[in-house]
Amino acid sequence: YLSSKNKKVLLVDGDEQKSATSWAVKREQERNDENLTTIHLTGSSILSEVKKLSKNYDETIIDVGGRNNASLRASLVVCNTFLTPLRPRSLDIWTLQELEDLLNEAKATGSKFRTLSILNQADPVGKDNQDAMKVLSDYHSIETVEFPIIQRKIFSNSINDGLGVYEYSPKDKKAEKELS
C-alpha cells in the first residue's frame, strides 16, 4: 500500500520463518516495485542496520515473529510504533501479560514507541471478537484498534501472488476498508 502511494519503503524481515522475504521474492517475479526494498535481518543486526538504512526511506516496516527473542527486542529499540496482531483465540490472548511485561521492560530502557494491537483473522460473526476486545481493553499500555481484520480469502490469495490487497483483482472492498 505504501509503495503504491509513492513512498519509499524498507521492509525488514526479522522472522526466522522468512514469510515477508518469500512474499517479496514472489512480488519481484510479478512486478518491479522500485519503491520497495526487502531485506532479511535477525537479532542485533536489526538494531544496527535499521538505524543506518532507515534514513534512506520514507517508511520502515519490521516484521518479526511473535516470540520473545533478540529480533523482537531489537525492533522495539528502533520502532516508533509496535503493532501486534492477535487472533481472537485463547492462546493468543493468553500471551498478553507476557507481551505487556516485555513492552514495559523495553520502555524502561528508554525506548519510546506507541503500542497497538489489532484483531487479525477475526471471525465474521459470533462473539469471540467482542470477548477478545474486552480482554484487550484491560491492558492500558496497549491501545486497541477498534476495527478487526476479518479472516478473508483475499489475504492468502494476494500474498500468494506477491501482491497487496489493494492490488489484487477481483477487488474486495470490505478487506480494503478494514486495512484503511
pLDDT digits (tens, 9 = 90+) for 40-59: 999 999 999 999 999 999 99
* Cell 478487526 belongs to residue: 148
Q: Alpha helices of the chain — where are they, by DSSP H?
A: 19-30, 44-53, 70-78, 90-93, 96-108, 128-136, 153-160, 173-179
Q: Name the average pLDDT for the chain.
A: 94
C-alpha of 11 from chain center: 11
Question: How many C-beta atoms surround the C-beta of residue 144 within 10 A?
Answer: 19
Q: What is the pLDDT of residues 104-157, one digit of tens each?
A: 999 999 999 999 999 999 999 999 999 999 999 999 889 999 999 999 999 999
Is this structure's pTM higher than 0.85? yes
Query: Which three three-digit cell numbers place residue 66?
Result: 511473535
Arithmetic mean of pLDDT, 61-90: 95
For residue 180, pLDDT over 90 is answered with no
| Burial class of residue 72, CB neighbours in 10 A (0-12, 13-18, 19+) | buried
pLDDT at 36: 96
For residue 85, pLDDT over 90 is answered with yes
32 pLDDT tier (thresholds 50, 70, 90):
confident
C-alpha of 77 from chain center: 16
Residue 22 CB contacts under 8 Å (≥ 6 apart), including other chains: none
pLDDT at 5: 93
Query: Which three three-digit cell numbers place residue 161?
Result: 501472488
Query: Which three three-digit cell numbers place residue 3?
Result: 509503495
Query: Which three three-digit cell numbers place residue 103?
Result: 513492552
